[in-house]
Amino acid sequence: MVLLGVIFFSGSIYGLATNSLSGFDFKSIALMTPVGGLLLIMSWVIMLIGIIKNKMD
């Protein structure tokens, strides 16, 4: 989940930042940025929950 989040979030931002240098229109995949961010946030929350459960045992 973390890897997908990084690829979606960072990859789409990188694509948007270099949009003028490449021939591909990265504005069509700009909606991947919030999905990637959400995946990263969910990964951190799941990890935090796992740590808290581990400390409780």
Q: What is the pLDDT of residue 36?
A: 95
Please tell me the predicted confidence (pLDDT) of residue 3: 94
Distance CA 12, CA 17 (A): 9
What burial class does residue 12 get, using C-beta atoms within 10 Å of its C-beta: 0-12 exposed, 13-18 middle, 19+ buried? buried
Q: Is the pLDDT of residue 57 over 80?
A: no
* Predicted local confidence at residue 50, as pLDDT: 96
Q: Domain ranges in the chain?
A: 2-56
Give residue-wise pLDDT tens across range 1-43.
899 999 999 998 988 888 888 777 877 888 899 999 999 999 9
- pLDDT for position 17: 87
